[in-house]
Structure 1
Amino acid sequence: MKLSVVIPAYNEEGSITETLVSLHDCLRARQIDHEILVTNDNSKDNTLVILENLKNSISTLTIYTNPGPNGFGHAVRYGLERFTGDCVAVMMADLSDDPHDLVRFYDKMQEGNYDCVFGSRFVKGGSTHGYPLLKRTINRLANLVISVTMGMSYNDTTNAFKLYKKETIQGIQPLLAPHFNLTIELPLKAIVRGYTFAVVPNRWTNRKAGESKLKIKEMGSRYFFILLYCLIEKFFSRKDFHKDTQLKQAQKLTTKSIE
């Protein structure tokens, strides 16, 4: 099963080398067939120059530059429209996500044939390091609201680090979120539309270089919009977009084409 890794990057000159080298070394050591897709989101620093140089040592690296509109969600979606693997993970460019956890996600997906594997930093075995107290508090409150609203037990929806089968990404289209609210749109749509998932504990480490691109004050209403959108689909779509419904429609089309 070929693994694709989509990494959005905006002004990550201080982190991108360590992130990609450690990721590539980890996947190569496990002999996992993979590709690493970095979407340069029109960085204003030397990120693109560094990426071009890294192509000489990382054979599985592909670089795209998002022409715009820009933003975290747009950059991730740009990569999700272009990956070629059987499954795809979204990871951050600041080395906050551990490549060894990605391998555990990958193994879990194959072991149980899950449509998605979600990480959680807040279950037994998970951990955070250097998480600012204010951001951590806001994170836990936001995830509590999401869990209660959607009627689910999963407690780390807002973390982007997750793994999806190719068919799952195709099945949760169209994606709307242009910003960090894409982090909740992807898993919530997958859950609402009936895709199977497993939760695996993962580690998170605060960035060593650069600045976080997440602006909490700007994101509240945007997260709420996506949450409301997914809630409406859950209760009023009559499962028109559900995995089982899509499979039945695909089977009908296949039968007609054979006839």
Structure 2
Amino acid sequence: MKLSILIPVYNERTMAQRSLSRVLEAPLPENMERELVVVDDCSTDGTWNILERLASMHPEIRLFRHERNMGKGAAVRTAVSHATGDFCLVQDADLEYDPFEYPKLLRPLLDGRADAVFGSRYLSSEQTRILPFWHSMINKTLTLVSNMFCNLNCTDMETCYKVFRTDLLKSIPIRSNRFGFEPEITMKVAKRKLRIYEVPISYHGRTYEEGKKIGWKDGVRALGVIFKYWLIDDLYQEPYGRAFLNNLTGTPQYLNWLVRILRPYAGDTVLEIGAGIGNLSARLMGRRLRYVAAESDPLYLHALENRFFRTPNVQVLRLAPDDISGYAELAGQFDTVLCINVLEYAADPEAVVRAAAGVLRSGGRLLLLTPQNPWLYSAIDRVMGHRRRFRARELRELVERQGLAVREIRQINKAGALAWWLFGKVFRRKKINKLSLKIFDKTVWLWRRLDWLLPWRGLSVIVAAEKP
């Protein structure tokens, strides 16, 4: 097991050697290796020469340099891309935070309870340097605002000490170049519903005379970052694929609309194929005796396991939609199968529907939702990984070939079809921007009521079929 210690450095010639020495000497849990991923953010005071000398003496140090000064967030982003450990810990080079507290920070991760751990300066700790009142108040105010927007009860959002599982951290895009990294990553791990723990840490803050770099302008920018990433859902690294699909359909009002249609068909035992991060599962699993959320993507599986860890009627199952052999042990166990936004990704949609039909009991229902209208296929579909868009007629024929009786075919989201045509066909965009998606979600109440009036086909089509 290895810990990657991510160290952004800028103009720290008086602290660099002492800081890295402390990090190299810091105790770690038994059988844990360390690597120091040090990123010099174009220092101009001789720091780079000191870092080069230290790196030549210690093979644990991996050294990188920016050609221009970009800020802490950019340096952390570079460090994350080069990290090879199981866990990543952010360590500033100014020694305001004590490396000898690493074991305390790592414990919730090693125990399997947490995906991220924040070290809090405001929980009870052995020692904390008394600093100016207004600096502390600004930190606490930013934490309060962040908590309000991301629905956490964190005590110290702005803390440097943040530790993550590396696989999860690498999957989160970091856009902020300066100190906006802290509110950005906090908002995104909250939206990803990662398990976040806090532990008390000591704090030996510097004054501005001693070299502290963050200022009041960074506090104002932090407010903007909080609002920005509350408004948009930039949660997964590109390429977008199904991650972009979560931005599209993982909007609460749209999902509520969809659930209104699907819920009357859902029985006591449900299999959801391609459950994603559980947006539908969370809304449909209530009052079901057994709800199986099946997924193959490792990140989504992790999200599902976190989300339903204490939900006894929900089972998370590793199952790829087109892994036909994986369905064999589920034969005849369910009275409802959901296949929502799955067939468009499948190499052989008919095989998926056949396998889904095989797990249904007699009288069980299969619910399909797919993108509709082949003429709408555009660069947006290609970026999302869609192989095709369907016609309602071909879905009916596909389902009936598996011996199922179609009970209803329903058009949905006709307003979305117009937007898809404009973005994909007229403007030739490769994605629909997140602000447009957010606006759409806030106006779903209107489009839902107008859907039956609009004369064209919907962006998606729902097919409800029954097994004789």
Residue aligning to 2:43: 43
CA distance in 2, matches of 1:36, 1:82: 10
- The Cα of 1:46 is off from its aligned counterpart by 1.4
- The Cα of 1:14 is off from its aligned counterpart by 0.8
CA distance in 2, matches of 1:254, 1:202: 41
Alignment of 1:221-236 (within 5 A): 221-233=220-232
2:164 partner letter? Y
SS in structure 1 opposite 2:88? strand
CA distance in 1, matches of 2:13, 2:183: 27
Residue aligning to 1:115: 115
CA distance in 2, matches of 1:210, 1:189: 32
With over 3 angstroms needed to count, the CA separation of the structure-2 counterparts of 1:120 and 1:254, relative to structure 1, is same
- The Cα of 1:113 is off from its aligned counterpart by 4.1
CA distance in 2, matches of 1:69, 1:18: 23
CA contact (8 A) 1:14 1:210 kept: no
**Under a length normalisation based on structure 2, what TM-score does the superposition of the two structures give?**
0.50
Residue aligning to 2:26: 26
With over 3 angstroms needed to count, the CA separation of the structure-2 counterparts of 1:223 and 1:145, relative to structure 1, is same
CA contact (8 A) 2:4 2:37 kept: yes
CA distance in 2, matches of 1:11, 1:219: 18
CA contact (8 A) 1:193 1:243 kept: no
SS in structure 1 opposite 2:111? helix
Per-residue CA deviation, residues 9-60 of structure 1 (Å, 9 max, x unaligned), is 1000111111110111114796530100110000011111111111243220
Residue aligning to 1:184: 183
| Pair member with larger Rg | 2
- The Cα of 1:232 is off from its aligned counterpart by 2.3
Residue aligning to 1:215: 215
2:179 partner letter? F
1:248 partner letter? E
1:115 partner letter? D
Per-residue CA deviation, residues 81-121 of structure 1 (Å, 9 max, x unaligned), is 11111110111000111112222112221013421111111
2:159 partner letter? N
CA contact (8 A) 2:13 2:46 kept: yes
Residue aligning to 2:4: 4
Residue aligning to 1:195: 194
CA distance in 2, matches of 1:153, 1:227: 15
CA contact (8 A) 2:116 2:197 kept: yes
With over 3 angstroms needed to count, the CA separation of the structure-2 counterparts of 1:210 and 1:9, relative to structure 1, is farther
With over 3 angstroms needed to count, the CA separation of the structure-2 counterparts of 1:154 and 1:239, relative to structure 1, is farther
With over 3 angstroms needed to count, the CA separation of the structure-2 counterparts of 1:130 and 1:200, relative to structure 1, is same
The equivalent position to 1:244 in structure 2, one of 277, 297, 300, is 277
CA contact (8 A) 1:168 1:190 kept: no
2:32 partner letter? I
CA distance in 2, matches of 1:243, 1:2: 29
CA distance in 1, matches of 2:97, 2:107: 17
SS in structure 2 opposite 1:255? coil
Aligned residue pair count: 255
With over 3 angstroms needed to count, the CA separation of the structure-2 counterparts of 1:28 and 1:199, relative to structure 1, is closer
CA contact (8 A) 1:88 1:163 kept: yes
SS in structure 1 opposite 2:198? strand
Alignment of 1:80-229 (within 5 A): 80-125=80-125, 127-172=127-172, 174-207=173-206, 210-216=210-216, 218-229=217-228
2:166 partner letter? K
CA contact (8 A) 1:181 1:219 kept: yes
Residue aligning to 1:61: 61
- The Cα of 1:145 is off from its aligned counterpart by 2.0
CA contact (8 A) 1:85 1:166 kept: yes
CA distance in 1, matches of 2:202, 2:11: 23
Per-residue CA deviation, residues 219-252 of structure 1 (Å, 9 max, x unaligned), is 2442122211232247x95647x98359936169
**Under a length normalisation based on structure 1, what TM-score does the superposition of the two structures give?**
0.86
RMSD (CA atoms): 2.9
* Structure 1 residues without counterparts, runs of 5 or longer: none
CA contact (8 A) 2:150 2:190 kept: no
CA distance in 1, matches of 2:127, 2:151: 24
- The Cα of 1:203 is off from its aligned counterpart by 1.2
Per-residue CA deviation, residues 194-227 of structure 1 (Å, 9 max, x unaligned), is 11121111111123885112122x2244212221
CA distance in 2, matches of 1:25, 1:75: 23
- The Cα of 1:256 is off from its aligned counterpart by 6.4
